[in-house]
Amino acid sequence: MRKLLRASAAVLALALAAGPVLAQQYPSKPVRVIVPWPPGQATDLAARIVAEKIGQQLGQNFVIDNRPGAGGQIGSEAVVKAAPDGYTLLASSSGPLSIMPNLQKISYDPLKDLVPVSLTAKAPFALIAHPSFPATNAREFVAQVRANPGKYTFSSSGTGATAHLFAELFNSQAKLNAVHVPYKGSAPAMTDLIGGQIHYAVETVASVVGHVKAGRLKVFGVTTAQRTASLPDVPTLAEAADLPGFDAAAWIGYSAPAGTPREIVARLSEEIQKAMRGPDMRERYVALGLDQASSTPDEMAAYMVREQERYATIIKNAGIKIQQ
């Protein structure tokens, strides 16, 4: 019996010692980062910047593998099914992991089948309108739309898209009654907004900043709790539209398959947090219209739960449904 206990204790000691050794040796070969979106999309660009930086820090290549399709499901599912060894990671984002589970059936549970590693970015949105819109600031905008229920239209890249949900959230908190016009993508939606066929939208700062600076669009405020470095002179909607507590942003991060050793997850998270503190990262993110973010795995896990619950409430309150 004593021999058995000594043997069990020895096995346990070896297992406990193996964790730190495993983390120190990781990564010993290139790491694949699956991006469930096409090249050039915000998640893809943010993932590439982080992959390059942590690759330099760890002395190993982090290779981007684009697997677009089905609103991010195809790439996300590939990571869920991958070996949980730290050599396949997911460039995570709010669309397929926080919004989609509330709109349709998917083959995986983001909160159970993936392990959060770290947030890497927040994508702020902005309330924009055609330059001819009869308002000079956010309070006048709210007053104008509120006084004319059903008269004004707002666009989005599609029913259930992040831009649609944030517009619905804004309309609800500002007590606005407007008509949603969904498009098949943000490009045609933006074209009609600039052309004056649509009155307003809540779109990513990244997609509107150039049009705002060129005078093709009028901006009334950003959706985040703090101003964004990409549009430093634009107030938040919380202050400009008198909507205390209004705070909405899409999120981007890194995740791994469930079962990935926690020592490896912790190592990756530490490296990402270290990378995000660099001043060069801020400059690169500002150029993309993104705000820096980082977190521990536990912080990201809690954040993902809150975000999924928040989107569920928006979708329910607005009665949003999509055809499957």
- Whether residue 186 is found in the same domain as residue 196: yes
The pLDDT tens digits for 276-292 are: 998 889 899 999 999 99
The pLDDT tens digits for 33-86 are: 999 999 999 999 999 999 999 999 999 999 999 999 998 999 999 999 999 999
Select from 91, 134, 131, 133 the least CA-distant residue to 114: 91
18 within a domain of the structure (yes/no): no
- Residue 11's pLDDT is what? 47
- Residue 21's pLDDT is what? 64
Q: What is the mean pLDDT of residues 230-234?
A: 94
- Whether residue 96 is found in the same domain as residue 150: no
- Whether residue 225 is found in the same domain as residue 278: no
Q: Which of 196, 221, 240 is the last residue of a domain?
A: 240
Provide, rounded to the nearest whole percent, the portion of the chain with pLDDT above 90: 88
- Whether residue 134 is found in the same domain as residue 209: yes
10 within a domain of the structure (yes/no): no
Q: Which residue has the tokens 């997609």?
A: 207
Q: Which of 240, 267, 298 is the last residue of a domain?
A: 240
What pTM value is reported for the model? 0.88
pLDDT at 275 over 80: yes
Q: Which of 217, 240, 263 is the last residue of a domain?
A: 240
14 within a domain of the structure (yes/no): no
Number of domains in the chain: 2
SS3 helix, strand, coil % of the chain, rounded to 5? 50, 20, 30
- Please provide the average confidence, as pLDDT, over all residues in the chain: 93
How many angstroms separate the CA atoms of 194 and 196, rounded? 5
12 within a domain of the structure (yes/no): no
Q: What is the mean pLDDT of residues 180-186?
A: 93
CATH of the domain at 233: 3.40.190.10
The token pair that represents 33 in the structure block: 């980062």
Q: What is the mean pLDDT of residues 88-103?
A: 96
The pLDDT tens digits for 77-95 are: 999 999 999 999 999 999 9
* φ/ψ (deg, to 5) at 232: -60, -25
**Residues, the chain:** 324
How many angstroms separate the CA atoms of 158 and 212, rounded? 22
104 within a domain of the structure (yes/no): yes
- Whether residue 128 is found in the same domain as residue 235: yes
- Residue 1's pLDDT is what? 54
Task: Report CA-CA distances (Å) from 97 to 46, 77, 83, 157.
Answer: 17, 11, 20, 18
HEC sequence for 192-260: HHHHCCCCEEEEEHHHHHHHHHCCCCEEEEECCCCCCCCCCCCCEHHHHCCCCCCCCEEEEEEEEECCC
pLDDT tier for residue 148 given thresholds of 50, 70 and 90? very high
The token pair that represents 184 in the structure block: 């098949």
pLDDT at 9 over 60: no
Q: Is 140 helix (H, G, I), strand (E, B) or coil?
A: helix
What letter represents residue 260's amino acid? T
- Whether residue 194 is found in the same domain as residue 167: yes
- Whether residue 86 is found in the same domain as residue 116: yes
Select from 37, 75, 95, 81 the least CA-distant residue to 251: 95
pLDDT at 201 over 80: yes
- Whether residue 117 is found in the same domain as residue 182: no
How many angstroms separate the CA atoms of 114 and 109, rounded? 8
72 within a domain of the structure (yes/no): yes
- Residue 7's pLDDT is what? 52
Q: Which domain holds residue 144?
A: 124-240
**Residue 79 in contact with residue 20, Cβ under 8 Å?**
no
